[in-house]
Each structure stands twice: as structure tokens, then as C-alpha cells.
Chain A
């Protein structure tokens, strides 16, 4: 098992380096003089030159990337151009909020998608199934920023039940996580359903029925675990999608997470912060993905054995 984890971490490194490379170059190859932008139009050329030197903009991009990565390996992703906070400090301050939002979005997504997906598959073509699939399709088609706005309009402005933004109260997280989790919920519902449909046609389900097991055991014990394998495999993609939509959700609900930090930094052209945050968030996603893969290994014995974690 340890070997497997090590192998996965080793596979992660080139991806992370690649991500940092791509993001760094996109930002640094952009037209326009970053020093001039930071300094403002009014500042004289001398000050701009000083800023340029301070921030290293007078060196070539490749040199700067080398220096950046060298420092990054030592845990230094630089400092914000505007505040005195280091990128890592600012990121660490915000990331718990993003993870909290992500966690509740997943919880919301799972609570709805699992039962709806399973029941829809078992009662294929029933009213429940049709209704569930229409809802899922709607969920996929509604962009999260519109859903968020509608939620605020209804629950905050009209009904005044829930706060429209911020994170002061424990229930502040409700609207953002529903907004953020809906699309994933809808996709998961459809996946669970189609995966279940596939599995219940398998011979071993007939075998289980022929043993005299009741339908509940057949579905929950024999079918579901097999059906979850493809769903868990793609969970990583859902996660990436959801962290992405968190950028928008956090902005709508003034949720102080990393997504909002990135959007704020972009409007200030605080490029160090943007590059740092994107790299760090990708890093965190990769770690969570690794954990998901380990869960996958736990439910699929075939994979488990190929990494020597079987007991007998």
C-alpha cells in the first residue's frame, strides 16, 4: 500500500511542475508591463524601474521561473504585490473556507444523488425515474451563478430565511453549498443510475436473487458496490469541476475562500497571488484525488491485489 502511495505521489510531481509551468508562463508572457501596472500610470519611470528590479521583472521569463520554482521548493511562493502577506499565508487563511464549502457541496450532492440514482435505476421508466431524470437534466443545465442568484433572490431577499453572503453563521454555508453542489449532484445522479442499470443486468445479480436474497440485499450489497466503482473513478473529475465552480459561488456569496481571493487578485493584477493560488489549489485537488483513488482501491478487490495489500 505504501508503495502504491509513493508511486502515486511520484506521478503527481510532473503534473504539478507542468501546472506551475503553464500557469507561470501564461501570466508572464502576457503583453503589458507588470511593474507599470502595479505602480500605476501616474508614477515616474524611476519608481517603475525600482519596482521592476524589486520584483525581478527585469530578468527573462525562464530565469524567473527557475528562481520561482527554486523558492517554491523551499516553501516560498512569494509575497502579494499589495499586502505584506506571503502567498502561502493568504492561501492558508482562505483554504479552510473553500474546503468547508466543498465538503458540504459533496454532502449535499451525495445525499440526493445516491438514493435518487439507485431508485431511478431499480424503477426504470417509472414516474419517479422520469421525474428524477428531468430534475437531473435541469440541474446540469442551470449554471451555478444563476442558481446562486435565484437562491439569494428567493431565500434571502424574498423569504429572508438565509443570509445572502458571508460566513458569520453556521447556516451561512447552506445556500452556497447547494448552489455549488447542484451540478455535481445532477451528474452523479445520472451516473449512479446508468451504472446501476448496467450492474443489475449482470449474471451475478441473477445468482444473488437465485440464492433467495431479498431485493434490499441484492441492491445494496451486491449491486451498489459494483455500481459505485465507475462513479468513484470519476469522483476526481467532479472535485475539480466543483472547486472550479467554487470560484463563481464564492464570488456570489462573498464567501471568503480561495476562489474569491483569486478573483480579487486578478482585478488588482496581483499576479504572484494568482499564480501561487492556482498552483496550490491544484496541489490540494491532487492530494484529495489521491485519497479518492485509495478509496477506489478499497472497493475494487482486483486493484487492491495488484498493489499487494491483500492479506491472503
Chain B
């Protein structure tokens, strides 16, 4: 596959995805923008139901349809809009150019096929190689993620959860994808195993020169592995910046809430402070800010007018009326790319 050797791997512009169900239209993703460079790793952080997984699945164009429909937007992978691709061409990208790791390793492997076959399969589909080469390659991948290659013929149930996730990673990286999307890859695992899996991912990302999108609700995981962070609320990004931007100069009240709800050993705050309320009804359409009802800084304007995207420096932006004034002084509004 010949592609321009551009630095930008993924450029998602204003993605809108709806689920059209019997109970109404669910606006899962409302104008999502992602720009990702080569070797960069992006953490997408948000609560369950914020549209993180839907965003990820749309990059692979695997949103279950029906009921899911991509209503608007463009997704450029190295300069080509994949939303315009025919299905056959799209299939060639899946597993080779973009790979995905799903949340629950317990259910993401096929129970009736050997793990070896499940890894071999992806190589066989995307690479021209005879069956011996394929098997050798698959065994190599097993070793890479730290599993003995003589377990090639074992079935998924013979492995523990952490091992299964390693196998899933081996499968995802078997064709050296340029972009790896990991959807809550450690949520279903024990804490000790989580650290191991993150380590494996970090190593292999370096080794294979892969860009990474890590979807999680866990800021700790993000700090571990990501360069840039997007905080997502109700289907769109409300704050975005480098790891340092987000962690050291948190701006959005929601992001602030996320940090406050973390247990902090140093501060030893008396109580965790959960964000009050829950995710808004996704069938609703907002005239103003979606976080309005849960925000302690909310003013009338927040309910009436959509907050603008305010750039605080070259890498850091926030979508919130609280910083309207800063906008006047520290003015650096980007007009394109909304």
C-alpha cells in the first residue's frame, strides 16, 4: 500500500454518529475532532456512554449498522477519507493499517479456535506468505507478548485474563499496524495485571512504531502511556492538550471533577469528590453546554449558548464559557478545524 509519508496518521474532522433506535435517536458522537501524528499516543478519557467506543469503532467503520449511522464528518487516514472507501478496500485496512483491542479479553477471543489460528488468520489475510511462514510469524508474535510459542495450539479458555489480553495484543500487532486503538484494554483485569499489560503495550508501541489511541476512564492509565489527552463529554471533546497541559493546568470543570474523584495519596483529602449527577440523556439535543446541569460554575449563558473552543496555548484547548474572558486577553482562537 502506497501512502503519502505524512506525519499525520489520523485526522478526524467533525464526526457525528447517531444510533437510531426505537426509543429515539441517540446522539453518541457530536462533532469529534482528532488529530494524531506518527508514533504519538492519544488518550481519550471520559465516562461510560461518552461516545469513546463509538468514535473508535468509526475509525474502523465497524459501527453496528443498524442502528448506528455516521451522519457527518471525515476520517482521514494518511490523507485519504476512509468514509468514502468501498467495503472491500476498508477490509484491507482493518487489522493491517488500523488494529483494535477490545475491552474484555475474556470475550474477545473466539472460544472454539486455537489462539494460534486466531493470530495466524490475521497474517494470512493481509500478507502473502505460505502457511509455514504464517505459523512461524504467529509463534513469534506470541513470544513477543511474552507467551511461550508452544502454546500455539491451546484454546482461549486455557489462558488467564491477562494472558488473553496479551494474545489479543499479539493479534492486533501481527501486521505492524500504523495505528492501534485500545478500548479500555485493562479495565477488565486485576490491578497488578493491568500494569503488566500497559508495560507490554508501551514497549511494543515503541518497537513497532505504532501510533496509539487509548480509550479509558482511568486518568492513571493515561498518565502512564499517553502524550496527548482528549477529555470527552457527551460525544465531543471538552478539553484537549498534552499530558502536561491536562494534568498540570487543568481547565475544564469536568476535567477538574475527574481529577477530584481520584484518590490522592499525597493530598489525603478527607473524601473523594465524585462529580454530582450522571451523563445526560444522549437523546437530548443541547442549545448550550452539555455539562451545564452538573457544573458548579454554571451560569445562565452556559445553558443558552454553545461554548466556543478556546485555545490556551499551541497545544491546549478547552470548550467552556468560564474562559471566555481569557479568550479576550490570551487571544488565539483557531477558526478552522471546528
A and B are partners in one complex rather than unrelated chains:
yes
Nearest B residue to A125, CB-CB:
B66
Residues on A with C-beta less than 8 A from B150 are 312
The segment out of B152-160, B269-277, B280-288 that lies at the interface is: B152-160
A210, B112: Cβ atoms closer than 8 Å: no
Using known A-B contacts A213-B125, A300-B112, A312-B154, determine if residue A203 contacts B91 with beta carbons closer than 8 Å: no
Q: Mark interface residues in A203-236 (1 if CB within 8 Å of B CB, else 0).
A: 1101111111110000001100110010000000
> Interface residues of B toward A: which range?
20 to 34
Measured CB to CB, the closest approach of chain A to B179, in angstroms, equals 12
B111, A210: Cβ atoms closer than 8 Å: no
> Is B41 part of the binding interface, using a Cβ–Cβ cutoff of 8 Å?
no
Whole-angstrom CA separation of A209 from B122 in the bound complex? 10
> Is A43 part of the binding interface, using a Cβ–Cβ cutoff of 8 Å?
no
A213, B121: Cβ atoms closer than 8 Å: yes
Measured CB to CB, the closest approach of chain B to A47, in angstroms, equals 66
Q: Mark interface residues in B96-117 (1 if CB within 8 Å of A CB, else 0).
A: 1001101110011111110000
B112-170 interface (Cβ within 8 A of A): 112-113, 121-122, 125-126, 150, 153-155, 157-158, 168
A207, B108: Cβ atoms closer than 8 Å: yes
> Is A299 part of the binding interface, using a Cβ–Cβ cutoff of 8 Å?
yes
Measured CB to CB, the closest approach of chain B to A125, in angstroms, equals 9
> Is A7 part of the binding interface, using a Cβ–Cβ cutoff of 8 Å?
no
Measured CB to CB, the closest approach of chain B to A299, in angstroms, equals 7
> Is B62 part of the binding interface, using a Cβ–Cβ cutoff of 8 Å?
yes
> Is B306 part of the binding interface, using a Cβ–Cβ cutoff of 8 Å?
no
A interface size (C-beta, 8 A): 24
A210, B95: Cβ atoms closer than 8 Å: yes
Using known A-B contacts A210-B60, A213-B125, determine if residue A222 contacts B113 with beta carbons closer than 8 Å: yes
A206, B62: Cβ atoms closer than 8 Å: yes
A311, B111: Cβ atoms closer than 8 Å: no
> Is A305 part of the binding interface, using a Cβ–Cβ cutoff of 8 Å?
yes
Name the contact of A203 in the complex, choosing from B102, B126, B153 (C-beta under 8 A): B102
Using known A-B contacts A212-B92, A212-B94, A305-B155, determine if residue A207 contacts B121 with beta carbons closer than 8 Å: no
> Is A158 part of the binding interface, using a Cβ–Cβ cutoff of 8 Å?
no
Measured CB to CB, the closest approach of chain A to B176, in angstroms, equals 14
Whole-angstrom CA separation of A174 from B56 in the bound complex? 54
Nearest A residue to B94, CB-CB:
A212
Using known A-B contacts A226-B110, A226-B112, determine if residue A210 contacts B157 with beta carbons closer than 8 Å: no
A212, B95: Cβ atoms closer than 8 Å: yes
> Is B171 part of the binding interface, using a Cβ–Cβ cutoff of 8 Å?
yes
Using known A-B contacts A212-B94, A212-B125, A213-B125, determine if residue A207 contacts B155 with beta carbons closer than 8 Å: no
Residues on B with C-beta less than 8 A from A210 are 60, 62, 94-95, 99-100, 102
Whole-angstrom CA separation of A305 from B99 in the bound complex? 31
A302, B111: Cβ atoms closer than 8 Å: yes
Residues on A with C-beta less than 8 A from B99 are 210-211
> Is B93 part of the binding interface, using a Cβ–Cβ cutoff of 8 Å?
yes
Residues on A with C-beta less than 8 A from B104 are 203
A207, B168: Cβ atoms closer than 8 Å: yes
Measured CB to CB, the closest approach of chain B to A130, in angstroms, equals 16
Residues on B with C-beta less than 8 A from A60 are none
Residues on B with C-beta less than 8 A from A301 are 111-112, 155, 157
Residues on A with C-beta less than 8 A from B92 are 212
Q: Which residues of B contact A (CB under 8 A)?
A: 60, 62, 91-96, 99-100, 102-104, 107-113, 121-122, 125-126, 150, 153-155, 157-158, 168, 171
The 3 closest A-B pairs by CB, nearest first: A212-B94, A212-B95, A211-B95
Can you pick out 26 interface pairs between chain A and chain B where the beta carbons lie within 8 Å of each other? Answer: A202-B107, A204-B111, A207-B102, A207-B108, A207-B109, A207-B110, A207-B168, A207-B171, A208-B110, A210-B60, A210-B94, A210-B99, A211-B171, A212-B91, A212-B93, A212-B125, A213-B121, A214-B91, A229-B112, A300-B112, A301-B112, A302-B157, A305-B155, A311-B153, A312-B153, A312-B154
